[in-house]
A and B are shown apart, each in its own frame.
Chain A
């Protein structure tokens, strides 16, 4: 058990620092996936099915193989190991075999290797596929009919549920029952750096994989599997990663597998960098979720809730069974409700397989439940703020899974903060007055309140651990290696801060290396807002041991009492005049042959959870957020603009406050894009909005100039210095707050996101709600 230092004075933690990776990112030196090159490398391009559903009759590579610059075209026959991908359910081939099924537009059939990118791409277009068309399943509703079965069995592949209390009876006997149906569409992660991997035959007679990714250990395992090699022959080194947001959780395993087939067969470095179009057409997204809610009220108290949610998991299960657990736990919202039934279903369709995206299956249902609560408040003429205050989780509350939460429950405080910062009642009044005076434009204020289960939770305990290696060199410089990846969120900085804090060395003397599977053992995935806690605790443990050794050396030098020795920013002293620099103390340790290298390890506190009934400790702790936005809707065009935002987040402890603010600002913009602008368009299973001219993400003009951020620090005793996660909760309240604000502005309930102008115009024209 690590003791939290929360409340004690710190040297680095909680202070404003510069990002440790900023210099190389502003001077052009940072090396992303496409910025590395190897002698003799070949360029790969993918041959994709370009049909939503069918049977692959034949693959004709004769023309493509003869094209200038082409080295080879690889199909399933060239896979030395298992032709099988997929994290949770093994339902996805690496390269589709002749005679087998094509299940979505982006199914990969062959990999072309050529001496340059353009030759590879041209040859890929010349591979002829003979596909016998089958009728595709293109919606959740069609999938549920089970008339066409995508994988042979039922299209409803996975389900999860919560059974708490007896909502059925309560709803039957209740006078105040409310119902609602909601739909949340796809969202594309739209990281700025597309997917990219290079696989290199290496000095250890195996393969080293370089690329943009979140989860090096997933990549290592997938490549070993596809090449039929033991994992000790596959080494994975993460390159600088230009954004990920979940989109680089499982997908790089697939990208690496395609490139590995070429590298293995040609014994040359093989590079595969996706074009934006291939990236959007073939890789994961946020799941579309259709949900149905029934809520029974007793005065201001939510008595019972029933939720049915259907997730479109596309052609393959990929991460859906894992995403679904988060959907399940978050579907009833951040409230203490006695009676809860939730049923979540994952259904196959002939479309792109969605997977991980910031919030991981929760923003869709949080939008729904928060719309539901808001709708109830307006219908019962209760202030939406008050209704949430009345029902929110507090210390001693029980969550939807009956998890008794006793500490670090900052939910009520986040509500109090946004109520104050937004001047909630005045803001609502201001909107009403504006709407009385204006016909062309209408304004609305919207509130949302969410919780977020930190890390992998009861469903992912077997993955929930992290390692770290910390080495102090003879000159006092420190090398830190972790299994968690930096993808822009600031992991390296927060890790360097914690190492500096625990060791007492100056931050600029600490280097956090790029993750490399050859050094740090499987540390689980870099997902679920878990890196600060898990990698952070592993690093702290290693540093605490190292510091103990340095204290012994100090004692050896000066005979000072160990408990009097203080480390601060590169200086070590005993408060009685005896002092030495950190670097010289390390040198003294070296000549005494002290081992200044330690491995740290942190595994998750055990959770007790009954999967059959969905009851118990779902997550180690929860982060909370509340948010108010004000929007203005143009009644003629239906377009919406967010005018201002107020957001409060309980993060336990802001280890790097500047980083936390950066996450919240970025998450807000991304959530706003999801709520209003990002409309993925498909035609017959093909994604046609496959670049930024048609898939519109927020530019500088869309973000509101005013975004007031409040950080609540309700410490989590297991977290380093009390910290919980913030990566995902930064986005999660936004779709709901925006949808609620639009609903107030137009006086009609928004029931789907994105809230496009066409949808708004449709609502305005409708006679009833």
Chain B
């Protein structure tokens, strides 16, 4: 079937397989391999992307579901060659170790900050509760998200 959609600001109108997962479509057809597969069951959050402002597990979405919608992946975070404040803060606060959960973590955090400029710690925790990280213990990730929120509020971004 043919669908129209937007990924990272670019419009597409493509013939797609109805039974293909969005995760595979992004990685194999659009070559956007920044989105990772960790479990294939919507449990780990490594494949998190944003669809129309909402963070979702792309392993649980079939491609036809994005018809008429906008998808943002980790590759779409940079603007005009500049890192998103979340990306900057993840680097500065040491929130990255192996990096496999990082793209999904960033997308969950972006979905939060896009809708809530001043999240409480509880809201940050809720936003990333579906994103598993085995390396960091989450401490520096929470710190980075808090830091990025501050940057966005102060218009430093």
Contacts and interface: CB of A to CB of B under 8 A. Distances in A.
Is the pairing of A and B real? yes
Contact of B97 (A26, A666, A697, A707): A666
Which residue of B27, B83, B106, B136 has the most chain A CB atoms within 10 A of its CB atom? B136
Q: How many of chain A's residues touch chain B, expressed as a range?
A: 35 or more
B100 A243 contact: yes
A661 B142 CA distance: 15
A668 B137 contact: yes
Contacts of A193: 36, 38, 98, 100
A661 B121 CA distance: 21
A690 to B, nearest CB: 10
Contacts of B33: 28, 31, 34-35
Interface stretch (A45-53, A465-473, A482-490): A482-490
B126 to A, nearest CB: 9
B43 to A, nearest CB: 4
Given A665-B136, A703-B138, A703-B139, A19 B41 contact: no
A376 B53 CA distance: 57
In the A-B complex, the 6 residue pairs with the smallest Cβ-Cβ separation, listed nearest first, are A28-B34, A488-B98, A242-B100, A25-B99, A669-B137, A692-B43
B140 interface: yes
Given A28-B34, A190-B134, A692 B44 contact: yes
A533 to B, nearest CB: 20
A670 B134 contact: yes
Interface in B104-152: 106, 121, 125, 128-142
Nearest to B90: A26
A276 B139 contact: no
Main secondary structure of the interface of B (DSSP, over half): loop
A481 B137 CA distance: 30
Nearest to B127: A700
Contacts of A30: 99
A192 interface: yes
Nearest to B93: A658
Contacts, number: 161
A34 B96 CA distance: 19
B75 interface: yes
A46 to B, nearest CB: 16
B58 interface: no
Interface in A347-401: none
Given A34-B37, A192-B38, A693-B43, 17 more contacts: A18-B94, A19-B96, A21-B96, A22-B96, A26-B102, A27-B74, A32-B100, A34-B27, A34-B33, A34-B36, A487-B98, A662-B135, A666-B134, A669-B136, A703-B139, A705-B121, A707-B139
Which residue of A22, A190, A658, A670 has the most chain B CB atoms within 10 A of its CB atom? A22
A27 B100 contact: no
Contacts of B91: 18-19, 22-23, 26
A701 interface: yes
Contacts of B140: 662, 665
Contacts of A668: 137
Nearest to A694: B43
B41 A242 contact: no
B129 A701 contact: yes
B11 interface: no
B50 interface: no
Contacts of A617: none
B5 to A, nearest CB: 19
A17 to B, nearest CB: 9
Contact of A700 (B37, B92, B98, B129): B129
Contacts of A703: 137-139
A203 interface: no
B39 interface: yes
Contacts of B38: 192-194, 276
A18 B101 CA distance: 18
A241 interface: yes
B106 A26 contact: yes
A665 B98 contact: no
Which residue of B77, B83, B94, B97 has the most chain A CB atoms within 10 A of its CB atom? B97
A591 interface: no
Contacts of A245: 134
B64 interface: no
A63 interface: no
A421 interface: no
B87 interface: yes
Contacts of B97: 243, 488-490, 662, 666
A442 B49 CA distance: 41
Which residue of A490, A670, A699, A701 has the most chain B CB atoms within 10 A of its CB atom? A699
Contacts of B99: 21-22, 24-26, 30, 240, 242, 488
B92 A241 contact: no
A178 interface: no
B96 A25 contact: yes
B43 A700 contact: no
A605 B139 CA distance: 37
Contact of B41 (A29, A693, A699): A693
A28 B74 contact: yes
